[in-house]
Chains A and B, each alone.
Chain A
Amino acid sequence: AQSVTQLDSQVPVFEEAPVELRCNYSSSVSVYLFWYVQYPNQGLQLLLKYLSGSTLVKGINGFEAEFNKSQTSFHLRKPSVHISDTAEYFCAVSLRAGNTGKLIFGQGTTLQVKP
């Protein structure tokens, strides 16, 4: 079975400071990795994805994430956050093998950017 653990339920940070949202996963088979963001009263929007190749992936809105296979982690980072980045962030995995797009999500991390 696969599981995703987001290590922080809430992350408060001041505007223009850097931030890291941590995600670890557990799987006996290879997975694809995703980060999604959810703004209040909205659905989820894809930030970035790791499929293969370079372990550092860049996404929208200045976010990037690094895949670390040995530590089974996929932490999300941004060098300087804005008030508008306040939202809930979800890490997710899908199985590489298998004919399905099913995602397994972590519990989410609420990023609260303070002025």
Chain B
Amino acid sequence: KAGVTQTPRYLIKTRGQQVTLSCSPISGHRSVSWYQQTPGQGLQFLFEYFSETQRNKGNFPGRFSGRQFSNSRSEMNVSTLELGDSALYLCASSSSTGQPNSPLHFGNGTRLTVT
């Protein structure tokens, strides 16, 4: 079974631009969540989607948004990029039910650098 695939692996953007990151979950998984990882703040939850519906959202500004498609693939978008958005963005998928006891399977992340 293929793992969670995130594209692109690396991205360099300029302040004020917007960016879209893509995530393909493990086949059969319907829950997809996104995390931001930085040296200072660690791993922080962005949002979670299940069957195309956002069912949980972290404490991030509205510039951060996401969506999930009918095939469970997900995208996240960051508009008006700031230097502080530089981070590793991790996508994770879990099971067909996405229940709290289902372990998350992570992709290798997208490294976003904002200059």
Contacts and interface: CB of A to CB of B under 8 A. Distances in A.
A100 interface: yes
B45 A101 contact: no
B76 to A, nearest CB: 15
Given A43-B4, A107-B42, A108-B42, A102 B56 contact: yes
B48 A43 contact: no
Chain B interface size range:
20 to 34
A32 B45 contact: no
A105 B43 contact: yes
A70 interface: no
B22 interface: no
A90 interface: yes
Interface hub of B90, B102, B103, B109 (most chain A Cβ within 10 A): B103
B36 to A, nearest CB: 11
A93 to B, nearest CB: 9
Interface of A: 32, 34, 36, 41-46, 49, 51, 90, 94-96, 98-108
Interface of B: 4, 31, 33, 35, 42-43, 45, 48, 55-56, 58, 90, 92, 94, 98-109
Given A95-B100, A101-B98, A105-B42, 19 more contacts: A32-B100, A32-B101, A36-B106, A43-B92, A43-B106, A43-B107, A46-B104, A49-B101, A49-B103, A51-B101, A90-B43, A100-B56, A100-B100, A101-B31, A101-B33, A101-B100, A104-B45, A105-B43, A107-B42
